[in-house]
Structure 1
Amino acid sequence: MIIDWQHHMSPKKVYEGRGGQGGVVIRDGKVTIHLKKEVYQVEKHLEFMAGAGIDVCVISASPVSVDQCRMCNEYYHDLRLQYPDKFYFLTPCLPLDESAFDILDQGINEYGYKGVIISPQNAGEMLDSRRLWPFYEKMSEYNLPIFIHVSGHVHGYDAYDADFNLNIAFTREADIALNTMRLILGGVLTAFPDLTFVISHLGGGISSILERVERYVDVRGEKFWTDCGGTPPFGPPYRENFRKLFDSLYFDMAGFEGGMNAVQCALTTIRTDRILFGTDYPYNFDTDGKKVAEYIRNIRSLNLNDDEIDGMLGGNAAGILGL
């Protein structure tokens, strides 16, 4: 079974509310994201899946308001009734807004959704902000995954404000890599050891920098935190304990348009049983699923055993989803 972990759908009203009439999201006079009409055209998703050879999609969206969360929740409920074997759903949530928690509860308890999706930045707060603790406490009551999708627009990166689109190509990836580190180093994973996190886009290419972080955690030890006024969330041996926490995270393979260099880099630090196939459709790849079929063939050609490849393509996701 091939499971697409990162596959986006939302109702037409949400599309239009994000700027869909013009087909773009504009911030500060600049186009940041080109929207895709396919996001609400269910038949296009089914065609894409058939062309790619995808059996099941995990559907999600990244609303920017409680109303949009509610609209997505209701839309997903209708789709779930129509396509019970094709789509599984993650309920969207704004984790700083407790008025959104009722929508989260409804999605999980009433509609049977398989987890929740949030952004790595929420009103400028990072994932280790104590303001997110009530959300983490709530999710600890459920044995379901938290999917961390890249933020639509990130705060605190003024140096990336340019007359070319660094936001979509680079800044959001740097931000999710940073927030992945903060989950570990900022104490979220030790405070909430039972939570399951899935990080999008191979952690923004986090594997390329992981050894450097490990080295400084190892060499500096407790001072890695105390030099900056912090407290270590875990004790020695620091490098080994850092790695154990990193290995508890899952990462999806979306976001690189099927680029195998990114996959090969990820495999240097991320265990195969922690990698989930994903496409980021309709925002990555064009509408021809054959390009994804080629991506799948390239994954199957990796120098890994069959069980590892089958896990990456669907088995690992099936385990998280309880299928």
Structure 2
Amino acid sequence: MTAASGDRPYKRIATEEAFCPPEMLERYKRLIDEKAVDDIGFNSMWGFYSSSDSARCRFIRDHLTDVGDVRLAHMDAAGVDFAVLALTSPGVQVMKAADATEFAAYANDWVADAIARRPDRFDGLAACAPQDPAAAAKEIERGVSKLGLKGVIINSHTQHQYLDDPKYWAIFEAAEALDVPIYLHPSSPSDGLIKPMLGRGLDGAIWGFSVETGLHALRIIVAGVFDRFPKLQLVLGHVGESLPFTLYRLDYMHQASFASGRYETMPALKRRVSDYMRDNFHYTNSGVAWEPPIRFLQETIGVDRVMYAMDYPYQYKPEEVGELEAMGISAEAKQAFFQDNARRLFKLKV
């Protein structure tokens, strides 16, 4: 046990903790300055975060690139024993295909080196470049088999395109074959979604991220991805991007829509939407340190599929861990939430 774990019979594992090499922030700044990316959300978000001198922006920039003593001190102050690191959004997905493929490999090597220095505190997920699905599949295999990374990070849409398109399914095939999960993490909404949100500042974590990622997850489900890859596991943060709270309606209206024959793009599925959400998804509470939705997920989806995450450094509230320790759930459910589910899903040795 680490010093942070004290007398608890379990460790607290945080499963959605962002990082990036310093070179990626430099590249983002250059892409924005050169107006090289056709993406309203990226240019708005990173145009601000890469240049603002606000305390929040400086904290995020400084701590995304730190996987050493400062991050460890913050983990200790919060009572987090172990972190699963993932390349921050939008990762390489705004870059040109060749550049993205090259930088994904660099980022994976970079985080693997950080993990090797502190394997008692860190593990991580492999980045890839969906722009070139075949190369992405190869990088996933390298990241998992050679570097020892524990899954895949995909930061939602890739230049306004979604993974339900079969041209991307080599990524799903690779993850299923390697028996590792894909963390479907938010990104700024695609251009088709963002404009009404941006006008009132709702495009980011306050709401737009969940709309974007929830849409992406539903597109994957209704496209039949899990009928083609039945063992594939995806992870959704932020208590499931709100989707679990509408399971009844998702089931009813999906069945009604299919029966109506209105959409040629809606194939028959072998199971209900809620079945896939219970059997092919895991969930973290990242950014939502609030007992009611966590308990709802445990009761509705299953105690064995809900995990802890902080969402560092975008959300760092040291006292939240103690607040979640005080949840009125069984000792077994608490241990599953903080430790056991993450250990099993990501095959962690901590």
TM range (shorter): 0.7 to 0.9
Unaligned runs of 5+ in 1: 236-240, 286-290
Residue identity in the other structure for 1:87: F
Which residue matches 2:242? Answer: 205
Give the 3 Å change call, closer, same or farther, for CA 155–12 of structure 1 in structure 2. same
Shift of 1:115: 1.0
1:233 partnered with 2:269: yes
Q: CA RMSD in A?
A: 2.6
In 2, Cα distance between equivalents of 1:162 and 1:70? 33
Is contact 2:13-2:81 (8 Å) kept?
yes
1:319 partnered with 2:344: yes
In 2, Cα distance between equivalents of 1:143 and 1:21? 35
Residue identity in the other structure for 1:32: M
Secondary structure of 1:166's counterpart equals coil
Residue identity in the other structure for 2:111: Y
In 1, Cα distance between equivalents of 2:19 and 2:312? 9
Residue identity in the other structure for 1:48: H
Which residue matches 1:70? Answer: 105
In 1, Cα distance between equivalents of 2:192 and 2:257? 28
In 2, Cα distance between equivalents of 1:105 and 1:74? 13
In 2, Cα distance between equivalents of 1:127 and 1:152? 16
For residues 165-193 of structure 1, give each alpha carbon's deviation from its aligned partner in whole angstroms, at most 9, with x where no partner exists.
22212222111112222232221111101
Is contact 2:291-2:327 (8 Å) kept?
no
1:114 partnered with 2:127: no
Is contact 2:224-2:267 (8 Å) kept?
no
Secondary structure of 1:31's counterpart equals helix
Is contact 2:210-2:241 (8 Å) kept?
yes
Secondary structure of 1:156's counterpart equals helix
Equivalent in 251, 257, 272 of residue 283 of structure 2: 251
Is contact 1:92-1:104 (8 Å) kept?
yes
Residue identity in the other structure for 1:9: F
Is contact 1:145-1:196 (8 Å) kept?
yes
Secondary structure of 2:119's counterpart equals coil
Is contact 2:140-2:175 (8 Å) kept?
no
Which residue matches 2:177? Answer: 141
Is contact 1:36-1:283 (8 Å) kept?
no
TM score, norm. by length of structure 1? 0.85
Secondary structure of 2:332's counterpart equals helix
1:295 partnered with 2:295: no
Which residue matches 1:55? Answer: 81
In 1, Cα distance between equivalents of 2:195 and 2:298? 31
Which residue matches 2:220? Answer: 183
In 2, Cα distance between equivalents of 1:283 and 1:55? 19
Unaligned runs of 5+ in 2: 1-10, 50-59, 93-99
Shift of 1:208: 3.1
Secondary structure of 1:251's counterpart equals strand
Shift of 1:159: 4.3
Aligned length: 307
Shift of 1:77: 2.1
Equivalent in 36, 44, 49 of residue 31 of structure 1: 44
TM score, norm. by length of structure 2? 0.79
